[in-house]
Copies of this chain bind each other. A is one copy, B any other.
Amino acid sequence: MVIKIRPEKREEYKKLHASIWPEVLDLLKKANIGNISIYYKDDTLFEYLEYSGADFEADISILMANPVYKKWLKVCDACQQPLDTRKKGEWWAKMEEVFHCD
């Protein structure tokens, strides 16, 4: 997934992730989301994650409905500027996988 970062919020975003709220980590784990990495270059953020559950939609619904996670997203979203080319309903824009090998 890809998104832009507001340049004036760059350091705030990095600090947020350097000391991520423990509840958020627990919620992600419960949603079967792991091996999460976020990378930065030229005011662009790239996120990679792996889902290991059986029902992604259900896990995401529970995660998104959680008040702590909503609060976390609110502070993160304020640092981000979504791409104009994102699809309807997206915040982070999903990318097309053109290659994968284990």
Q: Which residues of A contact B (CB under 8 A)?
A: 2, 13-14, 17-18, 20, 25, 28, 34-42, 44-46, 48, 83, 85, 93-102
Identify whether the interface residues of A are mostly helix, strand, loop, or mixed.
Answer: strand
Contacts of A93 in B (CB 8 A): 41
Q: Is the CB of B98 within 8 A of A17?
A: yes
Contacts of A25 in B (CB 8 A): 101
Q: Which residue of B lies closest to A49 (CB)?
A: B101
Contacts of A94 in B (CB 8 A): 41
Point out the residue from B2, B17, B100 that lies within 8 Å of A99, measured CB to CB: B17
| A2 CA to B13 CA, complexed, in Å | 20
Q: Is the CB of A95 within 8 A of B48?
A: no
Q: Is the CB of B41 within 8 A of A85?
A: yes
Centre residue among A2, A40, A44, A98 by max chain B CB count within 10 A = A98
